């Protein structure tokens, strides 16, 4: 059973930084595209950042230059470094990963349960 567990959320003042982590556990053969999404109160879930297995990245315009997605394949962990945080970054942040549990398996998509980031003004 594959699980994604986020950590690192919390309360921070505007202009501050946080680093989110997402640890994948269970039967994992390969970790492919990984990403971070967020959902603010009353809004739809939106893409924050994506990192492919080949190393390509894509960021939401609202976080470009402030957030950085990275991964440690040896630890099956994905990170989101968030700098210069703004009150509008307040949301529940979710980790998403496409991975294979075994060599012959098809790639499946998994979600974490989320971690709350609150940015005060």
Residue-wise pLDDT tens digits, 9-61: 999 999 999 999 999 999 999 889 999 999 999 999 999 999 999 999 999 99
Strand partners, 109: 98
Which two structure tokens, joined as six digits, stand for 77? 């962990």
How many other C-beta atoms lie within 10 A of the C-beta of residue 114?
Answer: 18
Residues 73-107: tens digit of each pLDDT: 999 999 999 999 999 999 999 999 999 998 888 99
Distance of CA 37 to the CA centre of its chain: 6
Distance from C-alpha of 62 to C-alpha of 42, rounded to nearest angstrom: 18
């Amino acid at each position: 059973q594959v699980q994604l567990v986020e950590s690192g959320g919390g309360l921070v003042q505007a202009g501050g930084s946080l680093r989110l982590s997402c640890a994948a556990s269970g039967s994992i053969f390969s970790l492919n595209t990984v990403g971070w999404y967020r959902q603010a109160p009353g809004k739809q879930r939106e893409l924050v950042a994506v990192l492919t297995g080949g190393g390509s990245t894509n960021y939401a315009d609202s976080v470009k230059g402030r957030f950085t997605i990275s991964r440690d394949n040896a630890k099956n962990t994905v990170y989101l470094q968030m700098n210069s945080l703004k009150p509008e970054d307040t949301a529940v942040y979710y980790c998403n990963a496409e991975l294979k549990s075994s060599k012959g398996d098809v790639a499946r998509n998994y979600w974490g349960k989320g971690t709350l980031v609150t940015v005060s003004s």
